[in-house]
Copies of this chain bind each other. A is one copy, B any other.
Amino acid sequence: MLDTIIYNGTLVTVNADFDILKNGWVGIKDGIIREIGVTSPDDTLPKAKNSINAGKWIILPGLVNTHTHLPMTLFRGLADDLPLSVWLNDYIFPSEKKYIEPASVRLGSLVACAEMIRSGTTTCCDGYFFEDDVASSVYSCGLRAVLGQGVIDFPAPGVPNPSENIKAAVAFAEKWQGVSPLITPSIFCHSPYTCSSETLKKSKDAASANGLLFQIHVAETQAECDQIQSAHQASPLQHLDRIGILDPDTLLVHTVWTGDEDIDIIAKHNAKISHNPSSNMKLASGIAPVVDFLDAGITVGIGTDGCASNNNLDLFQEMDLMAKLHKVKTHDPTAMNAETVLKMATLGGASAIGLDDKIGSLEVNKSADIIIIDAEKPHLVPMYNPASHIVYTVRGSDVRDVMIEGKMIMRDRILLTIDLDDILKRMIRLGKEIKT
């Protein structure tokens, strides 16, 4: 007998044929999707211990956020509308120095998990400091995540001596390897402008030796390109290529300033990209040439970035904004259509972080990471095209239920793994300290 059956919905599978099945159902056992079907009026559904009626609305794979800094919920809206250097040097770095410690990281991460679950994200790829505490929070919420302890050539929260950074990152990965099928350790190297070639190479070697995803911010701003050009007579991507950082297990975050040659380099190595449109717009960094990436066959996922530069973690909003941004950038309303965008937020993101064998689509033998969208609302009727609806109209607040690996973690918008009242109260209290 199945553990759970989710029925009476429009299944947006995001499989290879992008099948959309009306009156669809998904059968789940031991956290895995075992059967998918379509119900006719006379059909009897397979037996299951639990039945979840999707209320005729949308059943979708959980969304994948390919770039976060979860604890930065602590600083959401603390400093907006500022130049990147002022924002970072006068607000974010000092605040991190003062307020980032294990307890605040745990709390900030719990609040981030609550926001992600409530907006339909079931997997994130995160990099920060005190990542062990991020991992504890994420683990307790039942969210799926790829998590990397940060490496940077500066004194960092929790790691005052930069020479200890790689060791700390590897120790984090070793501690969390195999703890849970939901937690995949990784290494997060900050960027080519904050890490020497030696640091980049050593941390990539450590990632490769342990079979870990290597995350790195790269080519985010024009200033970074100028700096790398001046130091290494190369673009950031050329620099990473020359020192041997690029391979299919490298996730390149931002990649705003990338010319044709850079795109060829990324494609040649089958490196992956995390596109963060809101953050790049808000900090006025620029617009990544995502249509060109896709044309070159590069795998691209969507990320929100830390919510201090966004300022939220709602991937539905990110999909809408991204689709529109690339249409106006390319002067082509047919560019970046809803199906393309939805794939990027699900299977593309899963592929970018190395989890596409497990998640990103509703298919037999994949993990049951599933969300149900309540579309019985004025902004969601009628529904002509589910993909278009999901990208252009649905918002995070329309997500009704969230399941990860077969376990319900939100039901009727009630979080089942987080004490919401408690974390809200504590976050409000901590915010008063941070503001003063």
Residues of A that sit less than 8 Å from B by CB: 73-74, 76-78, 80-84, 87, 111-112, 114-115, 118-119, 278, 280-287, 307, 310-314, 317, 320-321, 323-325, 327-328, 330-338, 376-379, 381-385, 388-389, 392-393, 395-398, 420, 423-424, 427-428, 430-432, 434-435
Contacts and interface: CB of A to CB of B under 8 A. Distances in A.
A310 B323 CA distance: 11
A83 B312 contact: no
Given A77-B384, A378-B423, A384-B434, 19 more contacts: A73-B378, A77-B385, A78-B385, A81-B388, A111-B378, A280-B328, A281-B324, A281-B325, A282-B323, A286-B328, A311-B389, A311-B392, A312-B393, A381-B427, A382-B428, A382-B432, A382-B435, A395-B397, A397-B397
Given A382-B428, A435-B384, A284 B115 contact: no
A280 B388 CA distance: 17
11 contacts: A77-B392, A81-B338, A81-B388, A118-B378, A312-B379, A312-B392, A313-B379, A314-B379, A381-B431, A382-B428, A382-B431
A284 B78 contact: no
B83 A311 contact: no
Contacts of A395: 314, 317, 395-397
A115 B286 CA distance: 33
Contacts of A381: 111, 424, 427-428, 431
A78 B114 contact: no
A427 B382 contact: yes
A411 to B, nearest CB: 17
